[in-house]
Structures are given as structure tokens and as C-alpha cells.
Amino acid sequence: MLSYQVSAILDPSSSQSFTVLLVDDDPLIRKLVKKVLEPDQYYIVEARNGVEALDLYHEVQPDLVLLDGSMPIMDGFECCSHLRQKAPLQALPILMITGLDDDKFVDAAFDAGATDYIHKPINWVVLRRRVQLLLKMGELHDRLTASNNQLEAANQELKSIAYIDDLTNLFNRRSLDNALDREWTRCVQAGDPLSIIMCDVDCFKRFNDTYGHPAGDRCLQQVGQVIRSSIRWPVDIGARYGGEEFTIVLTNTPLIIALGVAERIRSEVIALKIPHKTSQVKDSPFVTLSLGVSCTQGKKYLSLEDFIQDAKVLGRNRVACQDSQDDC
């Protein structure tokens, strides 16, 4: 069982308290160090050697380590090396204390990952000021890290805003254009099949006029959910093209598979039974979709624009494909 001491100079639950891990085999040195640091009210945890220090590290998560260089069982240099593997230089200040006063010690201390060092006999004023400075540096590092994390989170949110349609949570037109350009170029060069589905909510203006725009928004959200659940997200691309129009880009997908995806989307939207009493679609009192499907396989397109145009829809509540104006 470990034998160590914890000196709560300040209530350890206080957010103002720094935790210092004091590692020294000499109980007198530990007592004197605590006395010097009392005015600054640190929460001090004591260890007698490097092994105890490593065992305590994860438990107490110190803000600073005061580490004697010469100790039994595991000396300060080896302990410092192990600690540095657990925490980067900026995150954990390590102040080494030693009676060795030569260049070899200095090199060994910094090679082991020490932030700074002082010699024995200890100048207690210097020790206190070094501890204050290193803790301040650590605190500034923590604040900078937190600010950087917040900035990164904000940047990610901005990216989402820039590329995600906020109503349907599908990609927006900007994302679609970028992805489609990229996939078009890749598939043309590699000879892989690329399929595209153009999807339109039938008689959507009448739906909005009848039920109101909030209901129209809910309708588009439900269609978006069906599209998202019907594709290999995010390998395939589901996007809101504009208004009540959607586009699905299916990478490495032949026409027969794309037609199956389109039919599944069409039938699942019908299964939602979203009322549309003013729809002009024959024998359907519910919201329906018209979907046009096109594929690069077996047909040479002069441009991406021709490819998209070929997927446009003729008729309502059906899936139409590139080689026929009839249902596919």
C-alpha cells in the first residue's frame, strides 16, 4: 500500500487552488517546501519517490510537479521522463530540484523533459517565485487550449452552416456543386458509374397555399429524412437543390441500382401519408414525388450540365430514367 501525505493548505474543492505534487525522499525538505508555499495556499500532495509519484499522477492530476533528482527506487530523471510521456511540456510544468551542480545534470534534466530546475541548498524565495511563474504559465496554456478548442468548435459550426441546409439537414446547393464536380471528374477519369437522381415534390406550391409554410417546411424535413435513410451516407450525397427540389448523387452506382433507390424514396414518401388534398396527382390524396434518374454508364455526356439535365423529370409521382420518357 502506498504511503504518502496530502496537505490541503486550501480546500481542494476550491476552484482557486492549484495542486502541486511534491516528490522528495527527504521528509525535512518536504516540510520546508510546504512551509514556503503556505502563503500561496496550494493543495500539496507528497510522494517519497518516482514510483509513488507516477501512481499519484492520475489520481490527483497536478498542476505542477516539484521533483527531486536523487531518490531511491526511481530517481527524478526517470520519473520526469515517464511524466512527460503522460503530459506535454506546456500542459504540466516540472520543476526539478537537485544537489548536483554541473552541466551534466542540466542536460539530463532538460533531456528528461523538465521545464526548469533549481539547486540545493534551495533558495526559498527563488523556489516560491519559480513555482508561481510556472503555474501562471500552465494556467495561460490551459486558457489558450480552451480558447483554441472553442475556436475549432466555432469553425466546425461555421463549416456546417456553410455546407448544410438548416431545414432538412441535408447538404445544401453549395456542397452539392462542389461534391458533384469532384465526383464527375473522378468518375469520368476512372470510368466508374455515377448516377444522379433529381427529386421534386409534386404540386408543392398548392401544398403551401393549402396548409401554410410551416406545414410545407415539415413536409420537406420528412422528405429529407427519407432521402438520408435511403442512401449510403456520407458516401452518397443527399442535398436540397432548391425549394422543393432534391438531388441525390450515387457514387460507383449503375443505373439499375439508382432506379431502385429512387423507387424506394418515392414509395416511402407515399407511405408517410402526408395529406395533400389539392394535389393534381391522379388518385393520390397524399404528398408524392417525381424522380428523374441518369447514369454515366453506357452513355457519353459532353458535360456535367448535360448529365444533370438528363435527370430532369417528366410527369408526376413516378421514376423516370434517361433513355425513356416512360416509367422505368
In a domain, 12, yes or no: yes
The amino acid occupying position 49 is N
Distance CA 86, CA 92 (A): 9
pLDDT of residue 157 exceeding 60: yes
Residue 256 pLDDT: 93
Lowest mean pLDDT: which of 108-112, 130-134, 137-141?
137-141
pLDDT in tens, 158-167: 666 678 898 9
Residue 15 pLDDT: 45
Nearest to 197 by CA among 156, 236, 155, 158: 236
Of 99, 131, 147, the residue at which a domain comes to its end is 147
Q: Are residues 17 and 138 in the same domain?
A: yes
User: In this structure, how many other beta carbons lie within 10 angstroms of the beta carbon of residue 3?
Assistant: 8
DSSP 232: -
pLDDT in tens, 272-324: 999 999 999 988 899 999 999 999 887 777 788 888 888 876 667 888 885 54
Q: Are residues 203 and 281 in the same domain?
A: yes
pLDDT in tens, 212-239: 999 999 999 999 999 999 998 778 999 9
Helix (H, G, I), strand (E, B) or coil at 310: coil
pLDDT band at 197 (very low <50, low <70, confident <90, very high): very high
Domain that includes residue 16, residue range: 5-147
β-bridge mates for residue 7, sequence order = 44
In a domain, 274, yes or no: yes
In a domain, 154, yes or no: no
Nearest to 187 by CA among 254, 287, 270: 254
Q: Are residues 25 and 142 in the same domain?
A: yes
Residue 314 pLDDT: 61
pLDDT band at 168 (very low <50, low <70, confident <90, very high): very high
Distance CA 92, CA 49 (A): 18
Q: Are residues 110 and 189 in the same domain?
A: no
Q: What percent of the chain has pLDDT over 70?
A: 89
What percentage of the chain's residues is helix, strand, coil (to nearest 5)? 45, 20, 35
Q: Are residues 121 and 179 in the same domain?
A: no
Q: Is the pLDDT higher at 90 or at 16?
A: 90
Residue 10 pLDDT: 42
Q: Are residues 139 and 229 in the same domain?
A: no
How many domains in the chain?
2
* CATH code of residue 226: 3.30.70.270
Q: Cβ(187)–Cβ(296) under 8 Å?
A: yes
Distance CA 315, CA 235 (A): 29
pLDDT band at 11 (very low <50, low <70, confident <90, very high): very low
DSSP 322: T
What is the chain's mean pLDDT, rounded? 85
- Strands 43-47 and 5-8 turn out to be antiparallel
Q: Are residues 23 and 134 in the same domain?
A: yes
Distance CA 80, CA 65 (A): 9
- Give the residue numbers marked as catalytic: 244
Question: Left if phi > 0, otherwise alpha if psi is -120 to 50, otherwise beta: which for 242?
Answer: left
pLDDT in tens, 31-85: 999 999 988 889 999 999 999 999 999 888 899 999 998 888 898 899 999 998 8
Q: Are residues 124 and 181 in the same domain?
A: no
CA dihedral over 245, 251, 256, 257, signed as positive or negative: negative
Residue 238 pLDDT: 94
* CATH code of residue 103: 3.40.50.2300
Residue 315 pLDDT: 67
R_g of the chain computed on alpha carbons = 34
